[in-house]
Amino acid sequence: MNPRALPSDAVLREARPGDEPGILACIQALADYEREPDAVENTVEALRATLFGDTPQAFVHVVERSGEVVGIAFWFVTYSTWTGRHGIWLEDLIVLPQHRAAGYGKALIASLAAVCQERGYSRLEWTVLDWNEPAIGFYRAIGAAPMAEWTTQRLTGDALAALGATLD
């Protein structure tokens, strides 16, 4: 992805080494907004290994303004057995509150749609909290539709360990 100029002298680009503290700050801001301020266990070092290690499996597009990361789209590649093609899972989309309404969120998500188009991916998917009306309104405005009848399932912690141990 080539860097792209945005309003207010901001730039949309792929993350690069050195962005980890700004990315982590955005992740923490999202956790704070989602009422889970103590849930972030990630670190600058873990982000560095994940994003810039030998075999990256996750990727980030950033909006940088005045040398600061002010927004991120954190994503990874998925695969649809039904379409037989890859897609993108958008794990986190956040623009820091003081930088909203400048088109940065739309530019971030559009950059992922462009990746899908360039690579022949069939879908771009994500979840949103049901109480997050501003985000839901934004997603509807860009043409996203909810997946009726689908709910997210998750195994973590003790339940994950217990199930994994059933194969021992």
Instruction: Give the residue numbers marked as catalytic.
Output: 139
Q: 121 exposed, middle or buried (CB, 10 Å; 0-12, 13-18, 19+)?
A: buried
Joined tokens for residue 161: 């360990």
In degrees and rounded to multiples of 5, residue 58 shows phi and psi of -135, 155
The H or E element spanning position 82 is: none
Say how far apart CA 5 and CA 7 lie, in whole Å: 7
Say how far apart CA 96 and CA 81 lie, in whole Å: 36
Helix 20-33 to helix 44-52 angle (10° resolution) is 110
